[in-house]
Structure 1
Amino acid sequence: MGDFNLTVILDAIRRAPGGLSRVELAQIVGLSPQTISNISRRLLDQNLIVEAGKEGTGPGKPRTMLRLNPGGMYAVGVHLDPAVLTFVVLDLVGAVVKHSRIKTPSRTDPGSIIDTIAAEIKQLVEESGVDRSKVAGLGVASPGPIDLVEGAVVDPPLLPGWERVPLRDALAEATGLSTILDKDVTSAAVAETWAGGPSGAGSFVFMYMGTGIGCGVVLNDEVIRGTSGNAGEIGHIIVDPDGPLCDCGQRGCVKSSAIPQVLVAQAEAAGVLDGSRAERSAPAVQESFAELCALAYGGNDVAMDILRKSAVLVGRAISAVTNALDVDRVVFGGPFWTCLAPAYLEQIPGIVGENSATRKIHGIEVVGTGVGEDVGAIGAACLVLEHTLAPRSQRLLLEG
């Protein structure tokens, strides 16, 4: 109970950027002033919070404000995308201390990629200057599906050869850090709740635009993972009944109609991009996709039509999800979002609004992430902070 109350207080302080006094904490969390005082002392002794001056304009003496100590704890995050590996070191308030980004090795065998990740993590922590003893752990954001219990990646569509790879344990052994694995879209949603500001509050879906497309789900400030941790798999929502055949046997799924690989192929078929290039790896697709976007915004009408059509299809998928979940907001992010943002923000808000079942009751905001391009890796690091510091009902269970 004491540990749970500690995390409740820490979470309340975290959610108040200006800090909270002990009196305000008692009012918010419903604990006695003595309990608040005792737990505050523990948190101060652990250097997780600091006393940050006094405030107060009314009667009575000014109150001492409590805020998170950014240097009290750190977390490392890595985002495994088939095209790019992103790494961050976060402090306790979710600010990036150090980050790096490298291409995912063209050899997709797990051993090679795991070795690359472990070496980059070691270098990043050293270059950050962070005391390793204050690093709470490593979070890993991976394409799904995943096995949360085993910490394994289970045959993701765009990572050939990754069949039940025990990524969590392999990286824990290679780095010496306590490691947590979660889906990339879930990690991105966690990042938004921790570091996204207003866009990460309430109920929203996080549309992850990477080598694949998926969504993270947050309802009433709680990240929804589903029975096996694989919520948000929207690749087989049909958005174009007359569209291309998908490997699931249906036509016009998101996966077969709107992911970057498909858009690049459309551009090559239309003569907008050079279709003679033999390289078809995920990093090569990312480069071609960036070229497609540059052509579209540079005045190439065919390239822009390809992006606009994909916006319509993705808008249809989002409408299905928002109607099912009744959320306030759609947040876009991921490594391909920067390229897509101008075309998508021009069209998708209208599509979602027109198709909303609740449009006469409330609007649905469509925005870009408040976290930035590294949202997957930041979310992975936030997994560590969430696991270590956020109040969870499991903390109330008594062991026999």
Structure 2
Amino acid sequence: MSPAGRPRTRAAVFDLVRAARRISRVDLAARSGLTPATITEVVRELLELELVVEAGRGASTGGKPPMLIELNPEARYAVGVLYERNLCTVTVVDLTGRAMATSSSPGTSLMPPEQALPVVAERIGRLLDEAGIERGRVLGAGLATYGPQDRRAGVVLTHQPTADWFGHPVAGRLSELLGLPVLLDNDAVAAAIGEHWLGGVGSGTFGCLYMASGIGGGVVVDGEVYRGASSNGVEVGHITVDVDGGPCDCGNHGCLGNYADPRAVIGQAMRVPGLDRRLGLDPADSDVITSFVRIAAAASGGDPEARTLIERSARLLGTAAVTLTTLFDLECIVLAGPAFGAATWIYQSVIQDELQRRAFVRRVHPVRVVPSVNGSDAAAIGAAALVLQSELASLQLQELYRAR
């Protein structure tokens, strides 16, 4: 094998161990197509670098039970960030994707990026220090936020929350501040990646409905996240649910988000006599998620007017779930994001009912609706997982091999 080919082979074998979680050398050879001798040599090198460890014997198939290999969780780490208008969640995960430390704080709301990004970098640095993790052991950071965005260039292509954000090189600037590589991705896609990484779904083909201040979506097909032409697909918040509806900021009309996302539900609540006072809603409050969670909690607690609003939102999200299932023949829909909160069970029940009544494939196979295993931190954990499975991680591992 050529010197140039060896690092790529090591990275490929490492990724197979990651995907399998625990695997024998024999199975590594079978799945990689490499010779047993090559696998033996590569595993030896990975063991020397302490990136993998031996994890006991597997089941015997007639001969000596094989020695199993798994990742060494503490060998490297990754950072994940959810940057929302009203919320900033930072998490640090180990090499297996397990969250080691997480912190959430108010978002930077209307700050321009040159003010907001240093705040985010400071929060990341503080969390790493509190967790006792050296920067040299961090592969990079994933930044999950709303779109549209140019993922490759690392820029957002929206004027939200202020016009200063449009075209700003958020990934490059945050990378400079941290001294670490930074990958940009859509928050809903990141949540779907995290769900698949941690095996919470039990299916390789599923959809994710993500709700923070807005509504987004992600789809995983046969274990691979669906990207589309520019990684701006599955924007379910912008599918039309009312062809005669009013205009949306995206340029479409009658978009789902205009009727079902937290901002829409808050607006509806403000028009119900007395509900705003009862729930302490303030029309001037820019903290969308906190206000929405109050409505969701009231709905879960039995308030009939709040319950009516949340159930209507859930039925409309059910339309999005039916659409995704019809397009991609999904086995499961995951509900993720900080806005579901106390009303997750209402959304789960209503969306499940919509799928059972309306999904094209309902007579062929059931479509389950489940809450995210990562809860409100789904996008941040997924952003970190994105770093772990990216070419970035492979390239850094190659550099580690060369430095031996």
Alignment check: 8 A CA contact 2:296 2:341 kept:
no
Runs of 4+ in 1 over 6 A off after TM superposition: 389-392
The letter for the 2-side match of 1:386 is Q
**Which residue does 2:17 correspond to in 1?**
13
The answer to whether 1:132 aligns with 2:173 is no
Classify the secondary structure of the residue corresponding to 2:238. coil
Distance 1:224 1:376, change over 3 A: same
Aligned-pair CA distance for 1:156: 5.1
Of residues 146, 166, 169, the one that matches 1:166 is 169
**Which residue does 1:305 correspond to in 2?**
308
Classify the secondary structure of the residue corresponding to 2:355. helix
For residues 60-86 of structure 1, give each alpha carbon's deviation from its aligned partner in whole angstroms, at most 9, with x where no partner exists.
Answer: 323211011001110111111111000
Unmatched 5+ residue regions in structure 1? 396-400
**Which residue does 1:367 correspond to in 2?**
370
For residues 230-275 of structure 1, give each alpha carbon's deviation from its aligned partner in whole angstroms, at most 9, with x where no partner exists.
Answer: 1122222122456555345665321211110110111111031238
Of residues 262, 279, 300, the one that matches 2:284 is 279
Tell me how many residue pairs correspond in the alignment: 389
**Which residue does 1:356 correspond to in 2?**
359
CA RMSD in angstroms comes to 2.3
Counterparts of 1:238-277 in structure 2, within 5 Å, are 238-241=240-243, 245-247=247-249, 251-271=253-273, 272-274=275-277, 277=282
Of residues 231, 234, 244, the one that matches 2:233 is 231
The letter for the 2-side match of 1:280 is D
Alignment check: 8 A CA contact 1:192 1:200 kept:
no
Unmatched 5+ residue regions in structure 2? 399-404
Aligned-pair CA distance for 1:170: 0.6
Distance 1:132 1:99 in 2: 16
The letter for the 2-side match of 1:277 is D
Classify the secondary structure of the residue corresponding to 1:384. helix
Counterparts of 1:308-387 in structure 2, within 5 Å, are 308-387=311-390
Classify the secondary structure of the residue corresponding to 1:50. strand
Classify the secondary structure of the residue corresponding to 2:64. coil
Alignment check: 8 A CA contact 1:155 1:161 kept:
no
For residues 210-245 of structure 1, give each alpha carbon's deviation from its aligned partner in whole angstroms, at most 9, with x where no partner exists.
Answer: 111010121110112221121122222122456555
Distance 1:369 1:276 in 2: 28
> What is the TM-score of this pair, normalised by structure 1?
0.91
The letter for the 1-side match of 2:383 is A
For residues 120-150 of structure 1, give each alpha carbon's deviation from its aligned partner in whole angstroms, at most 9, with x where no partner exists.
Answer: 0111111111122111111111110111232
Of residues 210, 213, 218, the one that matches 2:212 is 210
Distance 1:57 1:149 in 2: 46
Classify the secondary structure of the residue corresponding to 1:144. coil
**Which residue does 1:117 correspond to in 2?**
120
The letter for the 2-side match of 1:320 is T
Classify the secondary structure of the residue corresponding to 1:180. strand
Distance 1:371 1:308, change over 3 A: same
Classify the secondary structure of the residue corresponding to 1:94. coil
The answer to whether 1:143 aligns with 2:146 is yes
Classify the secondary structure of the residue corresponding to 2:229. coil
**Which residue does 1:53 correspond to in 2?**
56
Alignment check: 8 A CA contact 2:289 2:338 kept:
no
The letter for the 1-side match of 2:182 is T
The answer to whether 1:93 aligns with 2:112 is no
The answer to whether 1:31 aligns with 2:23 is no
Distance 1:7 1:352 in 2: 41
